[in-house]
Amino acid sequence: AVAAARRKHPRAIACPHEAYGVLAEEVAEFFDEVRAQKPDRRRMRKELLHIAAMAVRAIEDLQLNE
């Protein structure tokens, strides 16, 4: 999932504020699905994977992986 995110958006996350924005957007997309009248479990899983991938990417791009 992280490799796919890098292919789709090759520019590195530049700062913690940008990482927060990206993660907040992904969480909002997950929450939209949670609030849906008939939540789709596959879409929820997809959004959770996006959240996880972007969190890992932020750790790597911001060099927080010590």
Q: What pTM was estimated for this model as a whole?
A: 0.88
* Of the candidates 32, 33, 29, the residue with the CA atom closest to the CA atom of residue 53: 29
In whole angstroms, how far apart are CA 23 and each of 39, 48, 49, 53? 21, 11, 11, 10
Percent of the residues in the chain that have a pLDDT greater than 70, as a whole number = 100
CB distance 58 to 19 below 8 Å: yes
Q: How confident is the model over 12-34, as a mean pLDDT?
A: 97
Q: What is the pLDDT of residue 25?
A: 97
Q: For all residues of the chain together, what is the average pLDDT?
A: 94
Q: Which residue has the higher pLDDT, 32 or 5?
A: 32
**Residue 47 banded pLDDT, cuts 50, 70, 90:** very high
